[in-house]
Amino acid sequence: MKSSITKGWRPLLVLILLLVIWEGAARLFDIPAWLLPLPTQIAAEAFTGYSLYTPHIMSTITLSATGYLVGITVGIVVAILLFRIPFLQQAFYPLLILSQNIPVIVLAPLLVIWFGFGMLPKVIVIVLVCFFPVTIAALDGFRQTDRDMLYYLKMIGASNRQIFWKLQWPHSLPSLFSGLKIAATYSVMGAVISEWLGANKGIGVYMTLASSSFKTDRVFVAILLIMILSLTYFGIILAVEKIALRWRSQGGKVSDGSTHS
Amino acid sequence: MGQLILENLSKSYGQNHVLQDITLSVKEGEFVSIVGPSGSGKSTIFQLIGGLYTPDSGTISLDGSVLNNSRGHISYMPQSPALFPWRSVLQNVELSAEIAGTKQDRTKTLELIKSAGLTGYEDAYPNELSGGMKQRVSFIRSLNAPQSIICLDEPFSALDEFTRLEMQQWLLSIWETYKKSILFITHDIDEALFLSDRIIVLSDKPAIVKKEITVPFDRPRSEELLMSDPFLILKRKIYNLLRG
């Protein structure tokens, strides 16, 4: 905690400096607000336009959280299936990669055609962007287990199921959590993109309305909200990770590097 | 119970002939060491006993039943401690019984931890322990298993001289209380002589049993033994066997 305060001033300083330059340059060159609003104008809009965007926030949170939870569940289950059943891995791994090459922005309208304007197509979009980093991270974690520990378990006659749940699964958690953190920020992005396509509420809707009426300051407020939401999700996962991986932080004296990749 | 018999065991990997006609036995409650030049296939013997591979010929039997290529009949302590970093000391010690599927006996586990001098460290994680402490946890983990025979694969080779001697004495004292059969692999002649009832000397590849030596020293053994004349004479004998 102490170190985050003593080290935290550097990025904060850069951020403040950037905002000051932005404010100064925009004033100096007299740039119109519809083109690039001043940071102070954005702050004022965020403050006074409070009642305009609050209903949208709740809707985006519900959507992204639902999508995220479904997405990581699918991601973990897919990873376990692919890992435990080598045949499935050979058959489906290329498909998995291909699924990530379809631009979401193209896929989303198709999903609307197939599933309408309800919650379902939006959740599918989020699931599609969320599950991939989770699956890849978990698979990597499963594969990179410590050879000595694996050998020990085999020697004392552990079954494949025991090897998985007692070694490969806990060993993959640090890697899995990096996937979960990436997916957390993706989920907010996925939610906003899916809201552009047809929704009556959400930060995506607020953003579309603002940009089509040249209320550029509101577009920036929307960006700010997305950032705050993403960071909050990131922070929650980080906190869960700290608790789940208690053993890593304890002791401090890291003598066997093999497990701290 | 805990009588292990290997009869005419041979194994080769392709062109690589590793073991030839290995015959040896470990009686109940006996401490037997296998010494041999490095790369002589000592670990292969363990892999066959552990059931990871099938011998090309010969049989492995424990208390009369043949266990070629079947797993889960032995307890094992590897060269590196191989403790699970996300498990506390207590949970690590419990792992071997957990895998074997037997009921945990918390009092026995705590007693073992006490005998390892690790009382107060039950909830510590492995990365808080020193090298010697980790090896002690690793050994009591193998003792906590229900199996009657323990295979130890050069368990002290990574430790410094002083810690090693300390660990050997500790191992003897705890083994004398629990009396399990032990098959011990080492390349250290001193260690084999100090610890065992019998020593099996292997040749270079393909490994055959060159000689079986009964160690005549009484138990409990103390550090002074290491410098005594009969000890050094036996040591020289084994050394010459290994050389040529």
pLDDT tens per residue across span A46-70: 888 888 888 899 999 999 999 999 9
Q: Is the pLDDT of residue B76 over 50?
A: yes
Pick the CATH number of B1-41+58-74+148-165+180-187+197-235 from 3.90.550.10, 3.40.50.300, 3.40.50.970, 3.40.640.10: 3.40.50.300
Interface with B, mutate which of A145, A146, A150, A155 (most B CBs under 10 A): A155
Contacting residues of B for A242, CB less than 8 Å apart: none
The pLDDT, as a whole number, for residue B33 is 94
Residue A43: inside a domain: no
**What would the two tokens of residue B181 be?**
């059969």
Confidence of residue B41 (pLDDT cuts 50, 70, 90): confident
CA distance B234 to B240: 10
Residue A12: inside a domain: yes
Of B51, B74, B128, the CB nearest to A250: B128
CA distance A249 to B123: 14
Closest approach of B2 to chain A, Cα-based (Å): 16
Q: Are residues A17 and A68 in the same domain?
A: no
Peptide bond just before B85 cis, omega within 30 deg = no
Q: Are residues A85 and A30 in the same domain?
A: no
The pLDDT, as a whole number, for residue A182 is 93
A62 and chain B in contact, CB less than 8 A: no
Residue A251: inside a domain: no
Chain A 99-158, residues with CB within 8 Å of chain B CB atoms = 146, 148-149, 151-158
Contacting residues of B for A245, CB less than 8 Å apart: 86
Tell if the CB–CB gap between B74 and A155 is shorter than 8 Å: yes
How many domains does chain A contain in total? 2
For residue B103, the 8-state DSSP code is P
Domain ranges of chain B: 1-41+58-74+148-165+180-187+197-235, 84-146
Report the pLDDT averaged over residues B200-218: 88
Q: Is the pLDDT of residue B93 over 90?
A: yes
Tell if the CB–CB gap between B151 and A245 is shorter than 8 Å: no
Interface with A, mutate which of B86, B87, B185 (most A CBs under 10 A): B86
Report the pLDDT averaged over residues B203-225: 87
Confidence of residue A238 (pLDDT cuts 50, 70, 90): very high
Interface with A, mutate which of B43, B92, B99, B125 (most A CBs under 10 A): B99
Contacting residues of B for A174, CB less than 8 Å apart: none
The pLDDT, as a whole number, for residue A250 is 64
The pLDDT, as a whole number, for residue A74 is 95
Contacting residues of B for A160, CB less than 8 Å apart: none
Please tell me which residue of chain A has the smallest CA distance to B49.
Answer: A155
Of B72, B80, B95, the CB nearest to A157: B72
Q: Is the pLDDT of residue A79 over 50?
A: yes
Tell if the CB–CB gap between A251 and B52 is shorter than 8 Å: no
DSSP sequence for A129-197? HHHHHHHHHHHHHHHT--HHHHHHHHHTT--HHHHIIIIIHHHHHHHHHHHHHHHHHHHHHHHHHHHHT
The pLDDT, as a whole number, for residue A251 is 52
**Residue pLDDT, tens place only, A193-202:** 888 877 888 8
Of A171, A245, A251, the CB nearest to B128: A251
The pLDDT, as a whole number, for residue A257 is 39
Give chain A's length. Answer: 261
Report the pLDDT averaged over residues A128-134: 92
Q: Please give the residue range of the domain that contains residue A10.
A: 6-36
Residue A257: inside a domain: no
Report the pLDDT averaged over residues B85-106: 90
Q: Are residues A27 and A139 in the same domain?
A: no
Cβ–Cβ contacts within 10 Å for residue A111, how many?
19
Interface with B, mutate which of A144, A152, A162, A242 (most B CBs under 10 A): A152
Closest approach of A76 to chain B, Cα-based (Å): 20
Q: Are residues A117 and A152 in the same domain?
A: yes
Contacting residues of B for A151, CB less than 8 Å apart: 78, 82
Mean pLDDT of chain A, nearest integer: 88
Q: Are residues A13 and A55 in the same domain?
A: no
- Find out whether B81 and B135 touch, Cβ atoms under 8 Å: yes
Q: Is the pLDDT of residue A117 over 60?
A: yes
Residue A102: inside a domain: yes
- Tokens 């905690």 sit at which residue? A1
Confidence of residue B42 (pLDDT cuts 50, 70, 90): confident
**Residue pLDDT, tens place only, B100-127:** 888 888 888 999 999 888 999 999 999 9
For residue B223, the 8-state DSSP code is G
Q: Are residues A65 and A137 in the same domain?
A: yes
Tell if the CB–CB gap between A254 and B74 is shorter than 8 Å: no
The pLDDT, as a whole number, for residue B160 is 87
A253 and chain B in contact, CB less than 8 A: yes
How many Cβ pairs closer than 8 A exist between chain A and B?
Answer: 80
Contacting residues of A for B85, CB less than 8 Å apart: 247-248, 256, 259
Q: Are residues A87 and A15 in the same domain?
A: no
Residue A261: inside a domain: no
Q: Are residues A80 and A10 in the same domain?
A: no
A63-77, A96-110, B78-92: segment of lowest average pLDDT: A96-110
A212 and chain B in contact, CB less than 8 A: no
For residue A214, CA distances in Å to A155, A207, A210, B102 come to 69, 10, 6, 71
Confidence of residue B67 (pLDDT cuts 50, 70, 90): confident
Report the pLDDT averaged over residues A204-233: 91
Contacting residues of A for B69, CB less than 8 Å apart: none
Report the pLDDT averaged over residues B200-213: 88
Interface pTM (ipTM) of the complex?
Answer: 0.91
The pLDDT, as a whole number, for residue A141 is 93
DSSP sequence for B149-181? EEEEESTTTTS-HHHHHHHHHHHHHHHHHH--E
**Residue pLDDT, tens place only, A150-179:** 999 999 999 999 999 999 999 999 999 999
Q: Please, which residues have CB within 8 angstroms of residue B107's CB and are 6 or more apart in sequence?
A: none
Percent share of chain B, pLDDT over 90: 45
The pLDDT, as a whole number, for residue A252 is 47
A246-250, B131-135, B187-191: segment of lowest average pLDDT: A246-250
Q: Please, which residues have CB within 8 angstroms of residue A57's CB and are 6 or more apart in sequence?
A: A203, A225, A229
Residue A42: inside a domain: no
Confidence of residue A260 (pLDDT cuts 50, 70, 90): very low
Of A148, A154, A171, the CB nearest to B80: A148
Tell if the CB–CB gap between B84 and A254 is shorter than 8 Å: no
Report the pLDDT averaged over residues A182-195: 91
Residue A233: inside a domain: yes
**What would the two tokens of residue A151 be?**
């050998």
Q: Is the pLDDT of residue A100 over 70?
A: yes
Q: In what order do the strands lie in the sheet with B65-66?
A: B16-26, B4-13, B57-62, B65-66
Peptide bond just before B206 cis, omega within 30 deg = yes
Q: Is the pLDDT of residue B214 over 70?
A: yes
A162 and chain B in contact, CB less than 8 A: yes
Report the pLDDT averaged over residues B148-156: 91
Closest approach of A246 to chain B, Cα-based (Å): 8
Mean pLDDT of chain B, nearest integer: 89
